[in-house]
Structure 1
Amino acid sequence: MEQLKVFDENYTYLRNENRAKVHCEGLWHETFHCWLVDDQFVYIQKRSAIKKDFPGLFDITAAGHILSTETVADGIREVEEELGIEVDITKLHSKGVVQNSIKLPNFIDREFSNVFLYDSTFAASDFSLQQEEVESVHVVERKALIDLFVNEVMTVKCINIFDGTLAEIGLSDFVPHERNYFEQVAHIFKE
């Protein structure tokens, strides 16, 4: 079973625990969140329909838990595993840590989300998706996504980069992060 580092609410390390216990008891732990961006677009993933947690919802381009044996920088493996992209470290920019909680029956996810922007333009051929994790990748205009995340609009249009299909999505189509998380990420996108 995966072991995660557990922290107090001030991000002070306490001990290691298995992932199931961390989510059952709502213990604070670290995650890696990487948003692929370019001057105009943000790339978002649509989670696989077979995912245990939040199947079929839109989410951060690539994200995952940082294991107890890993550093925050090791989280870059998520981009490579989920999207098949070999990461150029010079294009990866740390944007700090955002506290983030998701509370559902039998599942409390309290994260110190280490947020990164990966600044580059991508084509569909650049991706090799891990099918059990990611169904598709879509682009959303950066300004539109900012407006959605700060509640200035209710929906945005996104385009599947593989087949060009257009969809209109709202926050209810995303993994249910806290409002504070979306607002802080919107601020990061403006920088």
Structure 2
Amino acid sequence: MEILDVVDETGAPTGETVERAEAHREGVRHRTSHVWIARNRNGRIQLLLQKRCMQKDSFPGCYDISSAGHIPAGDDYIPSAIRELKEELNVTVQESDLIYCGQVHKDVDSEFHRQPFHDHQISNVYLLWLDREAEEFELQTEEIESVRWMDYAQVRGMVASDTLPNCIIMEELDLIERHFL
């Protein structure tokens, strides 16, 4: 059972906690860390996208941020981001490797696996420069079906036109783009 901090509109914990499933069932605001992994190949910026496994409670089979995760109660954004990178992709980083890009507020009201899903999260968004082949990542198969590199411009176009099954918000792409070389 995952216990999360309930947070206010700025992302500050209120002192209350909630179980993850209840947060999504009831729409309780909570925090997540998002890490976009990027590389520069032949003068083109590429992003590593993960394809969520079909058993995920939300957005099964959709392309998503390189690494993301809920922040356990009592934890903070950076330690959670570092832990998720290790768990999901077996990538070890230091805090200084992560470039803070900004914060987003995401509100999703939908249904997955015939269950109501109300996700109200505040996420800190980070960029990590890492040039590694997709096959070199060790995936947490309970979470991730696969990973693939895509040119940034292609990702933007496919998200904007909704031609790629995804759960990516354009605001995050805008935030990370500001930090490209």
Q: Which TM bucket (shorter chain)?
A: 0.7 to 0.9
Whether 1:18 aligns to 2:19 is: yes
Please say if 1:41 is aligned against 2:51: no
**Secondary structure, in 3 states, of the residue corresponding to 1:55?**
coil
Per-residue CA deviations over 1:49-72 (Å, capped at 9, x if unaligned) read 232332211111111100002111
**Which of these residues, 128, 135, 151, is aligned with residue 145 of structure 2?**
135
Cross-structure match for 1:4? 4
Give the deviation of 1:184 after TM superposition: 1.5
Gap runs ≥5 in structure 2: none
Query: How well do the aligned residues superpose, as a CA RMSD in angstroms?
Result: 1.8
Q: Deviation string for 1:117-161 (max 9, x for gaps)?
A: 111211235311111111111111012223344x3xx36xxxxxx
- In structure 2, what is the equivalent of residue 108 of structure 1? 118
- Counterparts of 2:76 and 2:60, CA distance in 1: 27
Contact 1:146 1:189 in 2 (8 A): no
Paired residues of 1:142 and 1:189 also in contact (CA < 8 A) = no
**Identity value in percent:** 32
Letter of the aligned partner of 2:57 in structure 1? K
Q: Give 2:79's match in structure 1, choosing from 54, 71, 74.
A: 74
Please give the TM-score of this superposition, normalised by the length of structure 1: 0.80
1:174 aligns with 2:166: yes
Partner of 2:154: 144
**10 and 73 in structure 1: CA distance in 2 versus 1, 3 angstrom threshold:** closer
| Equivalent of residue 64 in structure 1, options 65, 69, 80 | 69
1:187 corresponds, among 159, 174, 180, to 174
Partner SS state of residue 79, structure 2: helix
Alpha-carbon distance in structure 2 between the residues aligned to 1:148 and 1:60: 14
Describe the superposition over 1:93-126 as per-residue Cα deviations: whole angstroms up to 9, x where unpaired: 1112100011114210000011111112112353
Could you tell me which runs of 5 or more consecutive residues in structure 1 were left unpaired when the two chains were aligned: 156-169
Instruction: Give the alignment's TM-score, normalised by structure 2.
Output: 0.84
Q: Specify the SS of the correspondent of 1:36.
A: strand
Q: Secondary structure at the match of 2:155?
A: helix
Q: Which moved more, 1:12-21 or 1:100-109?
A: 12-21
Provide the rounded CA distance (Å) in 2 between the counterparts of 1:190 and 1:11. Answer: 23
AA aligned to 1:13 is P
Counterpart CA distance in 2 for 1:31 and 1:64 is: 5
Alignment size in residue pairs: 168
